[in-house]
Amino acid sequence: MSSRPAGRGGVSLGVVVVLAGVVLVAALVFTVLGAGRPTAPPAPIDRTGASSPTRSGPPASGPIASAASTADPGATPGPSGAVPSVTPDPAATPSPPPPPVDVAMPIVPVVGFWEPGGGLSRDELVAALEGRSDRFADVWLPVADRDAIAGALGIGIAESVRSAAPDEILRAVREGGLGLLRAADLEPRVRALPLDLSELIGTERVDRNAAWPLTIPVTVAPEEAWDQASVITLVAGGDMLMDRGIYERVYNRHKGIDYPFDGGTVRITGRYCCGPFPPFAPEVVPSFVKTGNKGIVRAMLQDADLAFGNLENPITDDWVFRVYGTPFSGRPELTRMFVNAGIDWVSLANNHMLDFGTSGIRDTYRYLRKYGIGFSGAGIDLEQARTWSVQQVGDWTVAILPCVAVAPGSWATDDSAGALLP
């Protein structure tokens, strides 16, 4: 999952926390990793070929427009969203490749995506590279950067530390151990660790290459460079429900509309079988205790450049509160909790978006527009359900097209409403 005009990139997990009161929701901090000097992006294109509204300025300052959020659920679907192609002139002289650039490349400690444990101090990193670490038995370095890393740290690297290509390091750390990678080589399958209390990824990331504690000088093609100033952070949540316990706590217990996103941190105490939905997910789930830090979830969402989640119910004038069972629905006024929390965009691609039929989807469009929240993933027919959403985040253009792989009865067809199938 990458979005950079000039360079390779990836997405890495920054933190996982529980949103107290929101059913089945965890917040995952993702970062779109940029490199080089980003160029001005083209105007976003919706599926009709028309330019969509964009948002400029600081991304977290307000709602983000999307192609879907401007569409009328009652309108006749337009043509495919393919952008018209341009036939190249065979007589044209090809442009020469851009020259290499000099970069202070951040070198980042990485572990497997789900590996527990916090960041490293410089001393802990040095101990791992000198073969003295109690935490990491296996350590991997890029073969091309071994000497430069040793020089940057002023140490001798132990023979037990292995050298490998970046792809091999990415595979190896999934089985345990510690790897070091250039920032430009990060991918979603690893977790980038903080170093000396500095973070390369996430809402508290450093703002320039030189602010990272470990860099090496490299000369690379522009697409292999790295510009920390152009990085953006995406925070993605899971199912967000406005019914059942959420409604009951907000209204019946008078906890207030901001309660669902007041969550903090937890400590995993164990795991047990098999979760609330054994027929669908017969897997062990974690048990936990709360450890405080109330409000960290809200802060994470508000600090993100783009925050989004899955809206697990229609928002409809015909809403009905249910303590248990289905169909799900959301009281329109409760939509304000997403705005207050900093949610910019929601997915409608789920098995409950059709719980109140076509009128429920129409109402959902209307209320999300009213509250300035972008969306896509469902519609009054298949053509509308597959309308992608385009978000303008700083210098980046981010396109989102969600889909749902379960409950075929909830899928949209050519002539019936529903969510987008894969």
One-character DSSP codes across 228-246: GGG-EEEEEEEEE-SSHHH
The pLDDT of 186-190, averaged and rounded, is 92
Tell me the C-alpha distance between 52 and 34, whole Å.
Answer: 23
Residue 149 sits at φ, ψ, to 5 deg, of -65, -45
Residue 334: closest CA among 354, 362, 290, 364:
364
Of 16, 410, 22, 404, nearest to 240 by C-alpha is: 22
Structure tokens at 320: 């009905």
d(CA 226, CA 200): 12
In the chain, which residues fall in CATH 3.40.190.290?
Answer: 101-195+214-220
Segment 65-87, tens digit of pLDDT: 333 334 455 443 333 343 444 56
The predicted pLDDT at position 54 comes to 34
The predicted structure's pLDDT at residue 140: 98
Q: What percent of the chain has pLDDT over 70?
A: 77
The yes-or-no verdict on residue 398 having pLDDT over 70 is yes
CATH assignment of 101-195+214-220? Answer: 3.40.190.290
The pLDDT of residue 272 is above 60? yes
**380 pLDDT exceeds 70?**
yes
Q: CA dihedral defined by 297, 302, 307, 309, rounded to 10 degrees?
A: 40
pLDDT beyond 70 at 50? no
Residues 362, 248: Cα–Cα separation, whole Å: 25
Residue 292 above 50 pLDDT? yes
154 burial (CB, 10 Å; 0-12 / 13-18 / 19+) is exposed
Contact yes or no for 70/55 (Cβ under 8 A): no
Judge if pTM exceeds 0.85. Answer: no
Q: How far apart are CA 120 and CA 136, in angstroms?
A: 11
Q: If residue 345 lies in a helix (H) or strand (E), which one and from where to where?
A: strand 345-347
Please tell me which residue, 217 or 27, carries the higher pLDDT value.
Answer: 217
Q: Which residues contact 17 (CB under 8 A, 6 or more apart)?
A: 26, 27, 263, 264, 265, 266, 296, 297, 300
Minimum mean pLDDT range among 43-52, 71-80, 243-252: 43-52
Please provide residue 324's backbone torsions phi and psi, each rounded to the nearest 5 degrees.
-150, 170
Strand positions, DSSP E, 25-152 = 26-32, 101-112, 139-142
Q: What is the pLDDT of residues 122-141, one digit of tens each?
A: 999 999 999 999 999 999 99
What pLDDT, in 10s, does the model give residues 328-365?
999 999 999 999 999 999 999 999 999 999 999 999 99
How many Å apart are CA 33 and CA 398, to the nearest integer? 12
Q: In this predicted structure, which of 43-52, 113-122, 200-209, 369-378 has the lowest mean pLDDT?
A: 43-52
Q: What is the gyration radius of the CA atoms in the chain, in angstroms? A: 23
Look up residue 337 and give its amino acid. Answer: M
**What is the pLDDT at residue 19?**
28
CB 203 within 8 A of CB 133: no
User: Looking at residues 155-168, what average pLDDT do you find?
Assistant: 97
Tell me how far apart the 2 most distant CA atoms of the chain are, in Å.
73
Gap between the terminal Cα atoms of the chain: 17
Tell me what pLDDT residue 274 has. 72
Asked whether the predicted pLDDT for residue 233 surpasses 90, the reply is: yes
Q: What's residue 90's pLDDT?
A: 66
Question: Pairing state of beta strands 418-419 and 378-379?
Answer: antiparallel
Confidence of residue 27 (pLDDT cuts 50, 70, 90): very low
More confident of the two residues 280 and 225: 225
